[in-house]
């Protein structure tokens, strides 16, 4: 019996390649009763697993990483075909997913507790408090389309390392990778029902959130996140809800490196990353030189068929997403809130790399998160004013700053109200074991293997 909870008869989700429209697979949408069954099975599996040793958990996670390595090219092809990521980007995601699982396995052996003397209170002189961390139970993991493997592993790895069971619901736009991962977990010898997958859209997500789960980990949009949080009641929620992330380039910056980072971070997966460079702040002293270098590099970006090794950028997830980006660009230009320098057009889901300058603070392309390959240039002279403008926004995920001035680094690091500040790097940089997440409407809690392990555990105090 498969660990994947699917529906034998009923609605079918057809998955199409966003580049050419070809059908690449299908999955059955899960019913409410199947979701309830999956959660019930997960609870039983977790009761057996909760007392497992850290060594066993590490062994299971390493075994799954090994199965991913053996299946790496097929997994990369699935990722590329179902959501349009270039094959090079997909292969990199597969590598990162292996690393995420291995780091989770290592972290399982260091879920340390602590001992505290109680002599601070009357009668506590001879008492010692021991604090340990126990699994929360069943983790519901709801993931987006843009990193269908690694973002699932960022939830799955720490959850298993902490001794939990997982019921995952991937995006209906990219469900095939999660299904393959679940099959690989079976092949790796994972206990039955410890990791299950259900499929569907918003209603399935809400049904899962309302189930008797113990923790909800969600990556996606703000509106969906708020709905899931309300549906889950008092269940603990970890939520990464996106951002409107800035990159600042100061006069002393290495312009060539900053240009390469801007392109790499904004055009990766066609700009559909939560921490991509959504707003590019250029100091007016270097604006002209930077823009000239930028346009030359943008012209060299090869965009098209994501299955080809020499393609730099593939399509958006679908034509509707491309139309949304187009509408934002058109509204920006029509309202005289920006000037188009290159790009600004699409064919189906394939959007040309785009650069806009003279962007105003209220321009539609930056007023809210734009999920597409659009570089929107703001200029500034006073760093404090630029920081204040970013802080006035609703999101606070990450930011990047290019400078070698220590005082400026301290200023940006201290004053930006965000979850992370990357120095001489773009806002989309993350390492698998480092805390990742934001403030304000960018989310609740943090991902990153080490901190997620604690987030997915319950502290227990024993005083003797």
67 noted as active-site residue = no
Spatial CA neighbour of 222 closest among 80, 371, 82: 371
Angstrom CA distances, 326 to 184, 247, 344, 347, stand at 39, 22, 7, 11
Q: Of the residues 82, 240, 447, 455, which is catalytic?
A: 240
- State the SS3 of the chain: CCCCCCCCCCCEEEEECCCCCCEEEEEECCCHHHHHHHHHHHHHHHHHHCCCCHHHHHHHHHHHHHHHHHCHHHHHHHHHHHHCCCHHHHHHHHHHHHHHHHHHHHHHCCCCCEEEECCCCCCCCCCEEEEEEEECCEEEEECCCCCCCHHHHHHHHHHHHCCCEEEEECCCCCCHHHHHHHHHHHHCCCCCCCEEECCCCHHHHHHHHHCCCCEEEEECCHHHHHHHHHHHCCCEEEEECCCCCEEEECCCCCHHHHHHHHHHHHHHHHHCCCCCCCEEEEECCCHHHHHHHHHHHHHCCCECCCCCCCCCECCCCCHHHHHHHHHHHHHHHHCCCCEEEECCCEECCEECCEEEECCCCCCHHHHCCCCCCEEEEEEECCHHHHHHHHHCCCEECEEEEECCCHHHHHHHHHHCCCCEEEECCCCCCCCCCCCECCEECCEECCECHHHHHHHCEEEEEEEC
Count how many Cα atoms sit within 13 Å of the Cα of residue 152 in the half-sphere of its side chain: 30
Kindly name the residue from 153, 182, 237, 274 that is annotated as catalytic. Answer: 274
Q: Is 118 a catalytic residue?
A: no
Q: ∠ at Cα 400 (396, 405), nearest 5°?
A: 125
Catalytic residues: 240, 274
């Amino acid at each position: 019996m498969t660990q994947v909870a699917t529906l034998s008869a009923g609605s079918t989700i057809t998955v199409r390649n966003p580049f050419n429209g070809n059908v690449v697979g299908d999955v059955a949408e899960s019913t409410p009763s199947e979701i309830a069954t999956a959660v019930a099975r997960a609870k039983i599996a977790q009761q057996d697993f909760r007392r497992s040793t850290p060594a066993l958990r590490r062994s299971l996670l390493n075994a799954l990483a090994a199965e991913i390595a053996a299946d790496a090219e097929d997994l990369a092809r699935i990722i590329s075909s179902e959501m349009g990521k270039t094959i090079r980007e997909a292969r990199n995601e597969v590598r990162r997913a292996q690393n995420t699982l291995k780091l989770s396995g290592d972290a399982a052996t260091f879920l340390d507790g602590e001992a505290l003397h109680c002599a601070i209170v009357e009668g506590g002189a001879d008492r010692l408090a021991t604090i340990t961390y126990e699994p929360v139970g069943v983790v519901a993991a709801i993931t987006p389309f843009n990193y269908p493997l690694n973002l699932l592993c960022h939830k799955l790895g720490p959850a298993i390392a902490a001794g939990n069971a997982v019921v995952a619901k991937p995006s209906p736009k990219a469900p095939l990778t999660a299904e393959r991962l679940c099959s690989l977990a079976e092949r790796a010898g994972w206990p039955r029902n410890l990791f299950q997958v259900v499929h569907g859209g918003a209603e399935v997500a809400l049904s899962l959130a309302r189930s008797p789960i113990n923790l909800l980990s969600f990556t996606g949009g703000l509106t969906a996140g708020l709905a899931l949080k309300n549906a889950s009641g008092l269940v603990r929620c970890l939520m990464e809800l996106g951002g409107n992330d800035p990159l600042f380039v100061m006069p002393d910056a290495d312009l060539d490196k900053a240009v390469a980072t801007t392109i790499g971070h904004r055009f990766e997966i066609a700009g559909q990353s939560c921490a991509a460079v959504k707003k590019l702040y250029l100091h007016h002293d270097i604006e002209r030189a930077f823009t000239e270098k930028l346009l030359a590099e943008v012209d060299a970006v090869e965009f098209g068929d994501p299955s080809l090794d020499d393609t730099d950028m593939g399509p958006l997830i679908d034509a509707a997403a491309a139309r949304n980006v187009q509408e934002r660009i058109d509204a920006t230009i029509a309202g005289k809130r920006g000037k188009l320098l290159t790009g600004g057009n699409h064919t189906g889901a394939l959007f040309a790399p785009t650069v806009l300058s003279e962007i105003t603070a209220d321009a539609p392309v930056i007023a809210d998160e734009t999920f597409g390959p659009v570089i929107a240039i703001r200029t500034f002279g006073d760093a404090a004013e630029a920081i204040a403008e970013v802080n006035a926004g609703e999101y606070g995920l990450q930011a990047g700053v290019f400078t070698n001035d220590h005082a400026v680094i301290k200023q940006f690091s201290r004053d930006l109200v965000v979850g992370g500040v990357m120095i001489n790097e773009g806002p989309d940089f993350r390492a698998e074991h480092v805390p990742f997440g934001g403030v304000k409407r960018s989310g609740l809690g943090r991902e990153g293997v080490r901190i997620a392990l604690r987030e997915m555990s319950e502290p227990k105090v024993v005083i003797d």
